[in-house]
Amino acid sequence: MAPTGLEIYKLLPKTNCKECGFPTCLAFAMKLAQKGTELDKCPYVSDEAKTALDAASAPPIKLVTIGAGERAFAIGNEVAMFRHEKTFYHQPGLVARVKSDDPALAEVAARAGGYEVERVGMTLRLDGLAVEHAGGDAAAYAAAVAAARAAAPGLPLVLMSADAAAIDAALAGGVAADKPLVHAATAANWQAMAEVAKKHGCPLAVRVEGGDVVALAELSDQVHGAGVEDIVLDAGTSTLAGDLAAFTQLRRLALKKGARALGFPIFSLSAAPTWQAELVRATQAVAKYAGVVVLDHLEPAELYALLTLRQNIYTDPQKPIQVEPGLYEIGAVTADSPLLITTNFSLTYFSVSGEVEGAGVPSYLLVADSDGQSVLTGWAAGKFDAEKIAKTVKDSGVEQKINHKKLVIPGHVAGLSGETEEELPGWQIMVGPRDAVDIPSYLKTVWSA
137 touches another protein by CB under 8 A: no
Binds another protein (CB under 8 A): choice among 41, 50, 83, 405: 83
214 touches another protein by CB under 8 A: yes
CB 360 within 8 A of CB 331: yes
Class of residue 78 by CB neighbours under 10 A (exposed 0-12, middle 13-18, buried 19+): buried
Amino acid present at 309: L
Q: Give me the least distance between CB of 118 and another protein, in Å please.
A: 7
Q: Give me the least distance between CB of 249 and another protein, in Å please.
A: 6
Give the count of beta carbons closer than 10 Å to the beta carbon of residue 195.
16
227 touches another protein by CB under 8 A: no
- Judged by DSSP in three states, 261 sits in helix
Binds another protein (CB under 8 A): choice among 299, 395, 419, 421: 299
Q: Cα(288)–Cα(314) distance, rounded to whole angstroms?
A: 11
Query: Taking contact as CB under 8 A, which single stretch among the options 61-69, 128-136, 139-147, 281-289 is the one that binds another protein?
Result: 281-289
44 touches another protein by CB under 8 A: no
Query: Taking contact as CB under 8 A, which single stretch among the options 192-200, 311-319, 397-405, 416-424 is the one that binds another protein?
Result: 311-319
Q: Give me the least distance between CB of 341 and another protein, in Å please.
A: 20
Binds another protein (CB under 8 A): choice among 198, 288, 383, 401: 288
Give the count of beta carbons closer than 10 Å to the beta carbon of residue 226.
16
Window 344 to 403, contacts with another protein (CB under 8 A): 346-347, 350-351, 354, 357-358, 360
Binds another protein (CB under 8 A): choice among 164, 262, 323, 424: 262
Window 100 to 119, contacts with another protein (CB under 8 A): 115-119
Phi, psi (5° rounding) for residue 284? Answer: -60, -40
Between 114 and 174, name the residue whose CB sits nearer to another protein: 114
CB 181 within 8 A of CB 75: no
Lay out the site mask for another protein across 116-135 (x = CB under 8 A, - = otherwise): xxxx----------------
Query: Taking contact as CB under 8 A, which single stretch among the options 95-103, 175-183, 241-249, 378-386 is the one that binds another protein?
Result: 241-249
Of 231, 227, 310, 214, the residue nearest 270 (C-alpha): 310
Binds another protein (CB under 8 A): choice among 135, 415, 444, 449: 444
Between 4 and 239, name the residue whose CB sits nearer to another protein: 239
Query: Taking contact as CB under 8 A, which single stretch among the options 239-247, 365-373, 402-410, 411-419 is the one that binds another protein?
Result: 239-247
Q: Cα(125)–Cα(41) distance, rounded to whole angstroms?
A: 45
35 touches another protein by CB under 8 A: no
Between 36 and 82, name the residue whose CB sits nearer to another protein: 82
The C-alpha angle with vertex 48 and arms to 45 and 54, in degrees rounded to 5, equals 85
Q: Cα(13)–Cα(434) distance, rounded to whole angstroms?
A: 66
The C-alpha angle with vertex 181 and arms to 127 and 260, in degrees rounded to 5, equals 110
Window 143 to 202, contacts with another protein (CB under 8 A): none
Class of residue 116 by CB neighbours under 10 A (exposed 0-12, middle 13-18, buried 19+): exposed
Binds another protein (CB under 8 A): choice among 61, 170, 184, 244: 244
List, in order, residues 6 or more apart from 284 with CB less than 8 Å away.
240, 243, 244
Q: Cα(340)–Cα(324) distance, rounded to whole angstroms?
A: 16
Size of the site for another protein (CB under 8 A): 68
55 touches another protein by CB under 8 A: no
229 touches another protein by CB under 8 A: no
CB 111 within 8 A of CB 298: yes
User: Which H/E stretch holds residue 431?
Assistant: strand 428-431
Q: Cα(150)–Cα(133) distance, rounded to whole angstroms?
A: 17
Q: Cα(140)–Cα(137) distance, rounded to whole angstroms?
A: 5
Between 311 and 377, name the residue whose CB sits nearer to another protein: 311
Give the count of beta carbons closer than 10 Å to the beta carbon of residue 357.
16
Binding site for another protein (CB under 8 A): 82-84, 115-119, 210-211, 213-214, 217-218, 221, 237-242, 244-246, 248-249, 252-253, 256-257, 259, 261-262, 275-277, 279-280, 283-284, 287-288, 299-306, 308-309, 311-313, 315, 317, 346-347, 350-351, 354, 357-358, 360, 440-441, 444
